[in-house]
Structure 1
Amino acid sequence: MNGIRLHIAEQGDGPLVVLLHGFPESWHSWHRQIGPLADAGFRVVAPDQRGYGRSDHPDDVDAYTILHLVGDVVGLVRALGEEKAYVVGHDWGAPVAWHTALLRPDLVLGVAGLSVPPPFRGTRPPLQAMQERFDGRFYWNYFNRPGVADAEFARDTRTALRKFFYWASGDAPGAGEGKQPLVDPERGWLATMPDPEALPAWFTEEDLDALTESFSQGFTGALNWYRNLDRNWELTAPWHGAVVTSPALYIYGDRDAVPAFPGTPELIERLPALMPNLRREPLKLAGCGHWTQQERPDEVNAALIDFLRAGSGS
């Protein structure tokens, strides 16, 4: 429907739940959710999103706008023979989920975001704002340099992913202290990241194997999402000031750097007032870093199942 082929993992019967992964991940990031949600009475589908894993990787940077990504979700729901779905996203998958609810509320039974809160469009293009605030060292701006991060991460994919997952986890030293993810533009990002002697208990060598394999085509498709941040700001101008009206849930870790981005703590404080159908106070998981559903699967599964069952009446 949207001119794209998506690889999916699927299990269960019942109301459709679409699970959208983030960066640098794949459908596998939800492998601890798929079974429990299916057992709870839902049809669970986790795609590799556009530019990731075994899904299509368009060459054109312009093919990765938020409108393309929402279009993929809409097309996926229709291709699965469904009229409506619950949409759940983590990291980059969260903005896709939130925007699907914002742009197509007729399609969305409920929306949940992990790590990244709902979109409230700022007054300035985000890449431009971060460029000025952090003198070009914010990781979004580093990712926006064509071919640079692509080459750094692809030099040794397994090591890059191991370092990145540890650095952003709740297990890393200094996690949750409000430090911004800044990059030395000459040395790259990985140079400053510790390489753990052992992986955290929640992230096994088998998980790392699956993740490494999913990036066998490189990182360019995934990084192209970041290269559209300012374009997304332009494209979403018609929805400036609009709010997500679908039933909603927000979950984040208190050791995650993303909820500490400039302006985000204040936004999270105001969410209950800003979101008319936020079904509970934002759920903050103590000791949890960025990889919310992987670090704390039991708590995330319980919160999601409660939210989904309340919406489905089961």
Structure 2
Amino acid sequence: MTEITHRFVDAQSGLRMHVAEAGEGPLVLLLHGFPECWYSWRHQLTALADAGFHAVAPDQRGYARTGGPADPAAYSILHLVGDAVGLIEALGGGRAVVVGHDWGAPVAWHTAQMRPDKVRGVVGMSVPHRPRTSTPPVASMRRMFGDGFYMVRFQEPDAPEAEFDRDRAAAFRRMLYAASGDGPGTALIAPEGGGVLDACPEPEKLPAWLTEDDIAAYVAEYAGSDFTGPINWYRNLDRNWDLTAAWHRAQISPPALYIAGDRDLVATGATRAIEHLSDFVPNLRDTVWLSGCGHWTQQERPAEVNDALIAFLRAL
């Protein structure tokens, strides 16, 4: 059985990053989302290694064993792309296929957009590429969804991370269940007087793809860190809009693949962006919809995701 190994890599962005890796061959960089870490790619690391690739899943800036700076401004999209490019350089300096899920997807899309010389191909899961809007995003989200919407709520200091850090096992269990294809499909909007996790019910039992051991593994990975770094990513949404003016409506040129579940509220709420994805990603090879799958694409449907990834990689 292929072994997943762990080490720390001094990315050329200046951040010392924890990575999980397996296999040898062309580099595939796997970028997780919120509230996860490298562990969300546990099924892909071994499958890609067995298919002849060097699969690397970092804990991204602010997360789990990597940790990160205290300054919220150090979590902009330019820092995150810099980390991805810095890892590619540190892991051999050639080019990589960059795969991202949830928050990792915008990092992957922007890495392909800003540094196409370092990207052989790009895969986005759940979150499609969205062209830069004409106005900053947070005020727009507040108008559309209210102050309780999680991305708006995460702009507040201290309270959002305190909610997630209070009982990490419950936070992972409730988030992973609620947004899955087995969950209620509840939007992450905090009820009046409550928190974001109050929108996520406790499952009567875990879905088949998620075990108590998985929850314990996530909790263990966060033993030396907290949720401030991950939530700082959201605190840069308007700053990212400012910083990316030079790439306004710029195309993404590398070959691309998009994968999403048809029960993922993130994807089903972005149908127009998905329908027009090839307008800004002209080398889009395929869009793959997974029936009955929710937000946690590669964890809920590992075999189907692995098949789609490996087919895309071999065709490059």
Matching of residues 94-133 of structure 1 within 5 Å: 94-133=105-144
- Aligned AA (1:304): L
3-state SS, counterpart of residue 283 of structure 1: strand
- CA 1:222–1:94: 2 relative to 1, 3 Å: same
Q: For residue 148 of structure 1, what is the aligned residue in structure 2?
A: 159
Q: Does 1:210 align with 2:217?
A: yes
Q: Does 1:241 align with 2:246?
A: no
Shift of 1:83: 1.2
Matching of residues 30-41 of structure 1 within 5 Å: 30-41=41-52
Q: Does 1:181 align with 2:192?
A: no
- Contact 2:28–2:99 (8 Å) recurs in 1: yes
Q: What do residues 63-118 of structure 1 show as CA deviations (whole Å, max 9, x unaligned)?
A: 00000000001111111123110000000000000000000000000000000001
- CA 1:185–1:69: 2 relative to 1, 3 Å: farther
**Counterpart pick for 1:255 among 260, 263, 266:** 263
- Contact 1:142–1:185 (8 Å) recurs in 2: no
**Counterpart pick for 2:283 among 274, 277, 288:** 277
- Aligned AA (1:90): H
Shift of 1:157: 0.8
Q: For residue 56 of structure 1, what is the aligned residue in structure 2?
A: 67
Identity across aligned pairs (percent)? 57
3-state SS, counterpart of residue 110 of structure 1: strand
1 or 2, which has the higher strand percentage?
A: 2
Instruction: Specify every segment of 5 or more residues in structure 2 that has no aligned partner in the other structure, as ranges.
Output: 1-11
Shift of 1:122: 1.0
- Contact 2:33–2:104 (8 Å) recurs in 1: yes
TM-score by structure 2 length?
A: 0.93
Q: What do residues 153-198 of structure 1 show as CA deviations (whole Å, max 9, x unaligned)?
A: 111110111011100100013x3xxx64322362112223211122
CA distance in 2, matches of 1:41, 1:168: 32
Q: Does 1:310 align with 2:315?
A: yes
CA distance in 1, matches of 2:193, 2:77: 30
- Contact 2:249–2:280 (8 Å) recurs in 1: no
Shift of 1:246: 0.4
Instruction: Specify every segment of 5 or more residues in structure 1 that has no aligned partner in the other structure, as ranges.
Output: none
**Counterpart pick for 1:227 among 235, 252, 264:** 235
**Counterpart pick for 1:26 among 37, 56, 60:** 37
3-state SS, counterpart of residue 84 of structure 2: helix
Q: Does 1:294 align with 2:299?
A: yes
Matching of residues 8-19 of structure 1 within 5 Å: 8-19=19-30
Shift of 1:5: 0.6
TM-score by structure 1 length?
A: 0.94
Aligned length, in residue pairs = 304
> Alignment RMSD, CA only?
1.2
Q: For residue 3 of structure 2, what is the aligned residue in structure 1?
A: none
Q: What do residues 123-177 of structure 1 show as CA deviations (whole Å, max 9, x unaligned)?
A: 111111111222322210111111111111111110111011100100013x3xx
Q: What do residues 195-244 of structure 1 show as CA deviations (whole Å, max 9, x unaligned)?
A: 11221111111111111122232100000000000100110111111111
CA distance in 2, matches of 1:138, 1:125: 16
CA distance in 2, matches of 1:117, 1:247: 14
